[in-house]
Amino acid sequence: MEIRRQDESLARQFITIRNDIQQLKLQHSKQVYDDMVDDAQWVIAENEEYDSVCDEPRTLDKSPLLTLGITKMNLTERRFSVF
């Protein structure tokens, strides 16, 4: 009986640890995604600033998120991805 209780206690601890690891992975993934979006927004803002300064029309990448590998198709998948 004692061994069974110890096994159950260890199983609960392992499940808690696993859930904690999954939460950390999710938080990390969200942070990476937020950083990519922030970088893309910065590039867009910078490009708009240059447009008002330049005399000649500039040909810029209109989709900086695409250069980061984020497309319409995988945007939602990446948002909640866990390694």
Q: Which residue has the higher pLDDT, 16 or 58?
A: 16
Alpha-carbon distance of 67 to 47, in angstroms, equals 15
% of the chain with per-residue pLDDT over 90? 36
Give the pTM. 0.54
What pLDDT is recorded for position 63?
Answer: 66
Alpha-carbon distance of 79 to 30, in angstroms, equals 7
What pLDDT is recorded for position 22?
Answer: 95
Rounded to 5°, the CA angle 32-33-37 comes to: 120
Q: Which residue has the higher pLDDT, 64 or 78?
A: 64
Count how many domains the chain has: 1
What pLDDT is recorded for position 68?
Answer: 60
Q: Indicate the average pLDDT of the chain.
A: 77
Listed ranges 7-11, 52-56, 62-66; the one with the highest mean pLDDT: 7-11
Q: Provide the domain limits for residue 27.
A: 2-79
Residue pair 25/82 in contact (Cβ under 8 Å)? The answer is yes
Alpha-carbon distance of 23 to 26, in angstroms, equals 5
10 Å CB burial of residue 27 (0-12, 13-18, 19+) is exposed
